[in-house]
Structure 1
Amino acid sequence: MSAAETGRGPRLVPVRGADGRAGWSLVAANGRRLAAAVRGYRSEQELAAGVAELLAERAALRFVLSQREDRQWAWTAYLPARSTRAGSGGGEAVARSARGYLRRDQCRQSVTGFLQGVEHVQRMRRTAGSPW
């Protein structure tokens, strides 16, 4: 049986920030955090809508790799710019790498892992009905 059939694999985990806002982390099957939400959501409904938008727009995400002050590489994923989204501009940051990487190629591999994880979550959502 494949990982998708057994439900094993990356999953979205809801998290609560120190400010009380809801967010999510994409966690690999081994428990390692792969990515995190950039913004906090005021309610569970807003969080569910944000996750639904991430999953629906996953193929159109734009990724920016950058080197932080500590010289580690990190990525940020942006939703496509939409004139119908409130406050839309050049695209809203939606996800970021959960950690820094020593090399740029490792950071790029992390983007690939994130996209594969999001695809897995979408498949599970279709069969189970919930991203959690």
Structure 2
Amino acid sequence: MSTAEAGRGPRLVPVRAADGRVGWSLVAANGRRLAAAVRSYRSDRELASGICELLAERAVLRFVLSQREDRLWIWTAHLPARSTRAGAGGGEAVARSARGYLRRDQCRQSVAAFRQGADHVQRLRRLAGGAFPSSAW
């Protein structure tokens, strides 16, 4: 993948809140937000750790599609459960759709776009030796 190709793909954009906490958005090459972090992090180091976990577990994320009260479809991505203990739950929610969709199939397409975007960011990270290059961040 050339530098020009890398610059055209999706990238992670840090989002800092007024209270100093930080999250992320996955933004497509055309500038449209594809997804956002469900939680916020206390520091850039904690954010990087959370993103590393998301990227490492991206193949086994569980996606839940649901309808909001306004009847728009949204998705939420969950990490796999870390415990074999009965009743441990289905894993932590880590990402969500950046917007709602009129139809369920559009929401499913958004999941596919998120997966492709996460794969792209992981490829950039691998090319940068495990760091987050400016083209992905």
Give 1:11-50 correspondences, 5 Å limit: 11-50=11-50
TM-aligned CA deviation for residue 72 of structure 1: 0.2
- Paired residue total: 129
Q: TM-score, normalised by structure 2?
A: 0.87
C-alpha distance in 2 between matches for 1:43 and 1:6: 26
**Does structure 2 conserve the Cα–Cα contact (< 8 Å) formed by 1:4 and 1:123?**
no
One-letter amino acid of the structure 2 residue matched with residue 123 of structure 1: R
Identity across the alignment (%): 81
Q: Which blocks of at least 5 consecutive residues in structure 2 are unaligned?
A: none
Partners of 2:40 and 2:24 in 1: CA distance: 9
> Counterparts of 1:80 and 1:4 in 2: how far apart (Å)?
34
SS of alignment partner, residue 90 of structure 2: coil
Q: What are structure 1's unaligned runs of at least 5 residues?
A: none
Secondary structure (helix, strand or coil) at the match of 1:31 reads coil
Aligned residue for 2:40, secondary structure, equals coil
Corresponding position of 1:126: 126
Mean Cα displacement is larger for which, 10-19 or 70-79? 10-19
Root-mean-square deviation (Å)? 1.9
Match of 1:99 in 2: 99
Q: Which shifted more, 1-10 or 72-81?
A: 1-10
Q: CA 1:6/1:90 → structure 2, altered by over 3 Å: closer, same or farther?
A: closer
TM-score normalised over the length of structure 1: 0.90
